[in-house]
Structure formats: structure tokens, C-alpha cells
């Protein structure tokens, strides 16, 4: 009896990577079909439509869901795939692509990324979970989250420059924040410039805030950067991209299964998406997501 061909869904965010996602989708689609896969070619005009398409494809019995986009598309897919046996594939096409880095996927070779899906090898990774919502990378809940919130309310300029200007604006007035942390049931009250909860090691296009985080250890990495002057924060910030901030005397790291984080007026961001106002309780969902890797 002949074996039925493998069928996957390819879901594209047409705005990812400033519009280059559509071009990358074309290259990936060609390679996937050349590799013998049946491909449902889907394109969501916004997050709501993309979510509906993803859920429909999974309910319809596809073997895997492959997204063309950045960490925002991975975030959307994680909400659909968490706890299922349907693996996630990624064709990197965003501005950050941290999850693609986690999976050692080629950043500028959509056909090469498609080859990982064709090969069909899978691994299982953890997710971070708050209520019924999941994330893959890092929850930012300090200075970096404040910058994101300001940037999202700006209408000009576009792209990375908006975040650069938001960073400069916040640096002028930013003061240490007061936090209440509950780490595996133990309460801590402290002041900090930044608290982040990592499932993976980086976010924001390689900001390695949770350097050393393991995607499959069943634990969350809670990172705290304590109070420092604005000049000190400016000097320290570039070290986050190299992962060398871990030797800074104001840095501390806690491995936990569950954390509650509270700070007045702060909205958390995860996978580059607005995740929700604090307080948030986050736990690790071990092995919740299967990926092609």
C-alpha cells in the first residue's frame, strides 16, 4: 500500500522582516514541495486571522506547522501547539529571530531552514506558561519592558530607530523599580533596574539576558539586575548582547519552577509581544513544545 505524503501547513506573516517574509516564503515553499511534502500555503493578515488559520490546520490533521516570520509568529504558534504532538518549524524572517538561533537554524537561507522540516527530526523543548498563555524566549519586566511600552505608543520613526529613541527617552528619567518576587514559594522584596524570566537565553535580537538558560531543563531562569546609576546602566547594556553581564556585581540568577513577579505600573513583554501587566505568575511547562531541529 502506498504511503501517503506528509502534509504540513506553512503560515506566513507578510509584514515580518519589513516585508521580506513573502520572498522567503516563496523559496521555502519551493524547497518543501521539492522535498515531497504536501504544503497548505497560508497567510494571515493579522494575528487574529493567523491564529484561526493555525488552529484550523492543526485540527485538520497536518503533520507540522511551519511559520515564516520572527519570534512573534513563533509566539502565536506556541499558543496553538503547546501540549500537542504537532511540531513547529521556523523559516526565520523577523527582525529578532531568537528562537531560530536557539534551534541553530540558518538565518538567511530559507531553503536550508526548510530542509530541517523535510528531514523530519524533532526535539522537545520547554515553554514558560502564565495561565493559559505561553512563551518561548524571555519575559521582560523592567527597563526593557518600559522601553517596549514607550516604543509601542510612538508613531514615528519606524523600525529599530523607534526603540533606540525610546531607550534614550527612558534613560533620562528611569529609576530602580520596587519588586515583589516569589521564587518557588519564597518571597523576596527588592529594588532592581531589570527583572527577566527566561525560558531560553535571549530575546530582542540577541539580547542574552538569561545567558546559560537551558530549553529542556524544566526550570525558569529569573535574572535580576540590581540598582545602578543611569551611566552604569548605559555601560552595562551592551554587555547583555555578549552575555558578559553575568559577572557584574549587580547581577543575580535564580533557577526556579515557578515565579510570581509584581511591580506597580509595569507591563511584561514576552517573545516581543505585550504579555500583560504585573503581577504575573509563571511556571515552566516541561516538554510542552515539539520542534523540527
Domain CATH for 18:
3.40.50.10330
**0.85 cut: is pTM over it?**
yes
Strands 64-69 and 88-92, by their bridges, are parallel
Instruction: Report how many domains make up the chain.
Output: 2
Run means of pLDDT, 10 residues per run, the chain, 293 residues = 79 79 93 97 90 96 96 96 98 89 94 97 98 96 83 70 75 86 97 94 86 96 91 80 83 96 94 94 98 94
288 Rama class: left (phi>0) / alpha (psi -120 to 50) / beta? alpha
Asked whether residue 36 falls in the same domain as residue 143, the answer is no
Q: Nearest CA to 91 among 80, 79, 83, 103?
A: 103
Neighbours of 9 (CB within 10 A): 24
Q: CB under 8 Å to 123, separation ≥6 — which residues?
A: 216, 290, 291, 293
pLDDT of residue 7: 97
Domain span at 173: 135-286
Q: Which residue among 95, 120, 145 closes a domain? A: 120
| Cα–Cα distance for residue pair 50/262, rounded to 1 Å | 31
pLDDT of residue 242: 82
Q: Answer whether residue 217 is part of any domain.
A: yes
Amino acid at each position: 500500500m502506498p504511503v501517503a505524503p506528509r502534509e504540513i501547513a506553512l503560515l506566513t506573516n507578510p509584514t515580518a522582516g519589513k516585508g521580506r517574509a513573502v520572498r522567503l516564503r516563496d523559496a521555502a515553499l519551493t524547497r518543501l514541495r521539492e522535498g515531497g511534502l504536501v504544503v497548505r500555503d497560508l497567510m494571515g493578515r493579522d494575528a487574529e486571522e493567523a491564529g484561526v488559520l493555525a488552529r484550523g490546520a492543526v485540527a485538520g490533521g497536518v503533520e507540522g506547522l511551519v511559520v515564516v516570520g520572527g519570534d512573534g509568529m513563533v509566539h502565536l504558534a506556541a499558543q496553538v501547539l503547546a501540549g500537542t504532538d504537532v511540531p513547529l518549524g521556523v523559516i526565520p524572517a523577523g527582525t529578532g529571530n531568537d528562537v531560530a538561533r536557539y534551534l541553530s537554524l540558518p538565518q538567511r537561507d530559507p531553503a536550508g531552514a526548510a530542509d530541517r522540516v523535510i528531514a523530519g527530526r524533532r526535539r522537545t523543548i520547554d515553554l514558560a506558561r502564565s495561565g493559559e498563555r505561553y512563551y518561548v524566549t524571555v519575559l521582560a519586566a523592567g527597563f526593557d519592558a518600559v522601553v517596549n511600552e514607550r516604543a509601542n505608543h510612538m508613531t514615528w520613526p519606524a523600525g529599530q530607530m523607534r526603540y533606540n529613541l525610546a531607550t534614550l527617552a527612558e534613560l533620562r528619567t528611569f529609576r530602580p523599580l520596587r519588586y515583589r518576587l516569589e521564587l518557588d514559594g519564597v518571597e523576596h522584596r527588592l529594588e532592581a533596574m531589570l527583572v527577566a524570566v527566561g525560558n531560553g537565553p535571549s530575546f530582542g535580537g540577541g539580547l542574552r539576558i538569561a545567558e546559560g538558560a537551558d530549553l529542556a531543563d524544566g526550570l525558569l531562569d529569573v535574572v535580576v539586575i540590581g540598582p545602578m546609576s543611569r551611566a552604569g546602566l548605559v555601560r552595562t547594556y551592551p554587555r547583555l548582547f555578549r552575555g558578559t553581564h553575568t559577572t557584574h556585581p549587580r547581577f543575580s540568577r535564580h533557577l526556579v519552577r515557578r515565579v510570581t513577579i509584581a511591580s506597580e505600573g509595569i507591563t511584561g513583554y514576552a517573545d516581543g509581544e505585550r504579555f500583560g501587566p504585573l503581577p504575573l505568575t509563571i511556571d515552566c511547562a516541561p516538554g510542552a513544545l515539539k520542534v523540527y531541529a
